[in-house]
Amino acid sequence: MAYLFTSESVSEGHPDKVADQISDALIDHFLAFDPDSKVACETLVTTGQVVLAGEVKSKTYLDVQQIARDTINRIGYTKGSYMFDGNSCGVLSAIHEQSEDINMGVDRGSKEEQGAGDQGMMFGYATSETENFMPLGLDLSHLLLKELAALRRENKEITYLRPDSKGQVTIEYSDDNVPQRIDSIVLSTQHDDFADDKTMLETIRKDVKEILIPRVIAKLPESIQALFDANITYHINPTGKFVIGGPHGDTGLTGRKIIVDTYGGKGAHGGGAFSGKDPSKVDRSAAYATRHIAKNLVAAGVAEEVLVQVSYAIGVVEPTGIFIDTYGTCPFNMTDGEIAAKVREIFDMRPFAIEERLKLRAPIYSETAAYGHMGRQNEIVTKTFSQPNGEDVTVEVELFTWEKLDYVDKIKEAFGL
């Protein structure tokens, strides 16, 4: 029997994502001036207020308040009427030095012997149902909100949009797990106040269907475009009015959108957030590494769908275990346990090896903090960072290295494919 599966996304202006973006902007600045920085920073945003907290060990000094303000302004909170804007909000920093008890388990005489920054399990997932090996519902949810943000910044076709929004897509699957059609789309967007509530709803719903949706469809491959039909159920601003939003409408916290950040409910999640953590924290680095493994396994033809789990003990170099689930989609006679043994031979999962393989000790994290950490475009960019003393640094960095299909040939050789 066919079934439905739903995934959601939130925009860069969602309060939790504002917090994530501030935390990752801090990470990038610390790593730009001191690549060996150890950072775990959390952000809280609410009406007119930002609170920064966490632990840092770094040789550099930053104006963390200004970094927070610049991030908020870039997102689009620039007006006093939003009750939260980068130029006037209060910014309180309670960041302090990292515990030596934790640091002694991570830093060793040899970088290769660097221990895991914490215990825990991390998951990576990939599926062949989309070109970027991501679940379709999540991919579409992200794209809806990215295009909505683009329309807001252009301020031409739609001129009343505010930064906060949420999207959700429900896909109908066949018995053999193939997407058949889009069953429903939910979209709630913050907006300027209208003189008339009835006109407001009619305008927003018309603009979403006639402007936003066609822009989204135009960016999709033909096979996915075919899933949009006249029978889709739309729920557009279903509460009716969404003027009060962002951190004024809801308090935002770093790390509260971990399913949006990963696979939209598909696969599994170990529970650890990503944003605000330097790559010595395996919550982040090992989650990227397992995505890299899963994606390359599917691209190499080992399975149509793969879940990879890795686990660690704090301060211990080698992972405590690696697990593979191919959901019965492996086309040749090999058990998941045998596949896991091969994976352990191919991929060095020690924390420092992951950092080196994926080039994680670089300021690459601001781009991850909205619209998902997985399924993104691998590219090289140039970025410039400033310190309070006027010193600038310009660096060329590679983004989303865990999305590269650079291990496909090694996997095929190892599996005899």
Q: Which residues pair with 165 in a beta bridge?
A: 189
Find out whether 165 is annotated in a ligand binding site: yes
Query: Tokens for 138?
Result: 């999540």
Per-residue HEC secondary structure of the chain comes to CCEEEEEEEECCCCHHHHHHHHHHHHHHHHHHHCCCCEEEEEEEEECCEEEEEEEEECCCCCCHHHHHHHHHHHHCCCCHHHCCCCCCCEEEEEEEECCHHHHHHHCCCCHHHCCECCCEEEEEEEECCCCCCCCHHHHHHHHHHHHHHHHHHHCCCCCCEEEEEEEEEEEEECCCCCEEEEEEEEEEEEECCCCCHHHHHHHHHHHHHHHHHHHHHHCCCHHHHCCCCCCCEEEECCCCCCCCCHHHHCCEECCCCHHHHCCCCCCCCCCCCCCCECCCCHHHHHHHHHHHHHHHHHHHCCCCEEEEEEEECECCCCCCEEEEECCCCCCCCCCHHHHHHHHHHHCCCCHHHHHHHCCCCCCCCHHHCCCCCCCCCCEEEEEEEECCCCCEEEEEEEECHHHCCCCHHHHHHHHCC
Find out whether 42 is annotated in a ligand binding site: yes
Find out whether 164 is annotated in a ligand binding site: yes
Find out whether 277 is annotated in a ligand binding site: yes
Find out whether 313 is annotated in a ligand binding site: no
Find out whether 361 is annotated in a ligand binding site: no
Find out whether 23 is annotated in a ligand binding site: no
Find out whether 273 is annotated in a ligand binding site: yes
Find out whether 359 is annotated in a ligand binding site: no
Annotated binding site: 14, 16, 42, 55, 98, 164-166, 241-242, 250, 256-257, 273, 277, 281
- Numbered residues of the known binding site for K(+): 42
Binding site for ATP: which residues? 14, 164-166, 241-242, 250, 256-257, 273, 277
